[in-house]
Copies of this chain bind each other. A is one copy, B any other.
Amino acid sequence: MTAVNEFLAELASDSPTPGGGSVAALSGALGAALCSMVCNLTIGKKKYVDVEEDLKRVLVETERLRLELNQLIDEDAAAFDKVMTAMKLPKETDDEKAAREAALQDSLVDAASIPLVVMGKCVEVVELSATVAEKGNVNAVSDAGVAALNGRAGVHAARLNVLINLGGIRAERHALFVEEARAAMNEMVERADRLAKQAMATVLEKVS
């Protein structure tokens, strides 16, 4: 049934990709998929006719996020592979050193940008999971809670991947990017934590 064993084995290997950045995107995709499931278990049920239109709109968003985050699993790995490629460039002459450093700095910006995008999409997942927990089929409310937990884990996991790449950026031309990335992250973490807490409170009230 589950085709995840290969991915897990690949992850565990001594190859640095796929790594934590890909897992961050996967966490978000799992959260989005669970939101979609709860929507699908609610839409068309008589008892939930009042929220049907709301959840149809949510489903469009969660399916979009599932597919986007699914794709970002691979994009994160590709961005990190480019950092590794830049690191392997020759560094004998001064020209080589300068070219290598320029390539490395640019690749680090890309490698930080992907998890930054993942963070934003995971925040969306958390927000939608709170709606799904509130309005969705109560028999599947634990699934909405698991979606919130995965969305939140995705936000924090992606943040670690932004941070580790920002740590290597020294080029003056990228200083503004670093500054803006840090500010955006703080806002996203605050928002995700607040919404996840809200979703979990709703879920815990309904499951107990």
Binding site for B on A (CB under 8 A): 1-16, 18-20, 22-24, 26-27, 29-30, 32-34, 36-37, 40-41, 62-63, 66, 70, 73-74, 77, 140-143, 145-147, 149-150, 152-153, 156-157, 160-161, 163-164, 167, 200, 203-204, 207-208
User: CA A167 – CA B40 in complex, angstroms?
Assistant: 23
- Beyond A4-B29, A160-B203, A163-B208, 8 extra complex contacts between A and B, CB < 8 Å: A2-B74, A11-B36, A20-B142, A23-B146, A23-B150, A27-B149, A27-B150, A146-B160
Quick check: B153 and A149 within 8 Å, CB to CB?
A: yes
Quick check: B146 and A24 within 8 Å, CB to CB?
A: yes
- Residue pairs across A and B with Cβ atoms less than 8 A apart, 17 shown, are A2-B74, A4-B4, A4-B70, A11-B36, A16-B140, A19-B37, A19-B140, A23-B30, A24-B146, A27-B149, A142-B164, A149-B160, A150-B153, A153-B153, A160-B204, A160-B207, A167-B208
Quick check: A41 and B20 within 8 Å, CB to CB?
A: no
Quick check: A207 and B29 within 8 Å, CB to CB?
A: no
Residues of B within 8 A of A24 (CB): 146
Q: How many copies does the complex hold?
A: 2
CB distance from A144 to the nearest CB of B (A): 8
User: CA A26 – CA B16 in complex, angstroms?
Assistant: 20
Residues of B within 8 A of A156 (CB): 149, 200
Residues of B within 8 A of A70 (CB): 2, 4-5, 8
* Given known contacts A150-B153, A164-B207, A18 and B2 CB-to-CB distance under 8 angstroms: yes
* Given known contacts A163-B142, A164-B141, A164-B207, A14 and B27 CB-to-CB distance under 8 angstroms: no
* Given known contacts A13-B40, A23-B146, A37-B13, A3 and B3 CB-to-CB distance under 8 angstroms: yes
User: CA A36 – CA B34 in complex, angstroms?
Assistant: 27
CB distance from A7 to the nearest CB of B (A): 5
User: CA A180 – CA B116 in complex, angstroms?
Assistant: 42
